[in-house]
Amino acid sequence: MQLFFALSGFLITAGLLDSQHGRHYFRNFYAKRALRILPLYYSVLLVLLVAVPHFIGKVPYSLDHQAPLWLFIGNWTHSFPYGFTHFWSLAVEEQFYLVWPLLVWKLAAPRLLSACLWIAVGALLLRSVLAALGIDWWTIYSNTACRMDALALGGAAACLLRIPALKAAACKRQSQLLGAALLVFLAGIPLTHMYDNGRWTGETFGYSLLAVSSGAFVLWAAIADAGPSHRAARLLSWAPLRSVGRYSYAIYIFHNLLHWLVGVPWLSARFGNLPALPIVFLYALTVFAASYVAAVCSWHGLEKHFLKLKRFFEGR
């Protein structure tokens, strides 16, 4: 999740910095985010939580605690219908989208870089205080403020690439960046007991180590992707990876719903509560394949038609 948030922080901050002095800065950002996120998300909620129960009647999943889903606040209320828990991370993203453009609006890249670093430190301090107070691991895990270090360090990477001196230094040390990301990640394994978020070390500086390694990796990947001849750029341009990237949002939407609402009942009925490891592996591949197929259908049937409207909200 920290890698996902770091990547999101990088992409969102880069786009905001590039449109910082354009007309309709806020309108364009929020309109494009809404066109990307809301049509599929609300379509799924309408089908599963409104249409199916209305036409079929009793459904094999709970319809309680819907309001946090519709309002993107489930990561604060910690209440979800069965099978919808994974949308806590989308709630974090939406809350990030709500406030981040305000921060980026008036800050040049150097000042924003400094702000991002201080935000990352603040997230560590907040998690440490909450852990010392005995706050449960799930609250710390899903709280937006507690996840701001990864989002902010991704944003810091975007700022760094827009400061010529720092960009040149990073490009010269590209291989060291990847090595540093790997070293920080590996060092955190024994220090945090495999990043166990149920332990104090895991839920405090464990997240920070993952945020630092993720931010460094995203920065390395961005530099590598800028050089078409680089081996990493060729890997990142590999058609299967690009395909998964195109459909990744819908894969995220569908995978847990398929798992909990369809897969788990079938798996338990067929193989019991502890299926053999080969069965679990094949099951995981099957869920991914089904999610991918559903995502392709979603893209061509729904998403891309809304995304075409983005052209009305492009900056100059």
Distance CA 9, CA 96 (A): 9
Most confident segment among 61-75, 217-231, 277-291: 277-291
Supply the pLDDT for residue 228: 59
Supply the pLDDT for residue 152: 98
Task: List pLDDT tens digits, range 251-308.
Answer: 999 999 999 999 999 999 999 888 999 999 999 999 999 999 999 999 999 999 999 9
User: How large is the C-alpha radius of gyration of the chain?
Assistant: 21
Report the percentage of the chain scoring pLDDT > 70: 98
Does the pLDDT of residue 205 top 60, yes or no? yes
Helix, strand, coil % in the chain, rounded to nearest 5: 80, 0, 20
Is there a contact between 310 and 28 (Cβ–Cβ < 8 Å)?
no
Distance CA 50, CA 81 (A): 13
Distance CA 173, CA 179 (A): 10
Distance CA 8, CA 149 (A): 12
Within 10 angstroms of residue 116's Cβ, the number of other Cβ atoms is 27
Amino acid at 201: T
H or E element, residue 268: helix 264-271
Specify the length of the chain in residues.
316
Task: List pLDDT tens digits, range 121-146.
Answer: 999 999 999 999 999 999 999 999 99
Distance CA 265, CA 272 (A): 10
Q: What is the mean pLDDT of the chain?
A: 94
Q: If pLDDT is split at 50, 70 and 90, which confidence band does 241 have? A: very high
Is there a contact between 37 and 125 (Cβ–Cβ < 8 Å)?
no
Work out whether the CA dihedral 163, 165, 169, 174 comes out positive or negative. Answer: positive
Helix axes 2-18, 109-132, angle to 10 degrees: 150
Q: What average pLDDT score do residues 144-152 get?
A: 97
Q: Between the CA of residue 168 and those of 10, 116, 223, what are the distances in Å?
A: 18, 20, 10
Task: List pLDDT tens digits, range 4-37.
Answer: 999 999 999 999 999 998 889 999 999 999 999 9
Q: If pLDDT is split at 50, 70 and 90, which confidence band does 60 have? A: confident
Q: Is 291 exposed, middle or buried (0-12, 13-18, 19+ CB in 10 A)?
A: buried
Supply the pLDDT for residue 63: 83
Q: Which of 149, 290, 153, 293 is nearest to 218 (CA)?
A: 153
Does the pLDDT of residue 75 top 80, yes or no? yes
Does the pLDDT of residue 316 top 70, yes or no? no
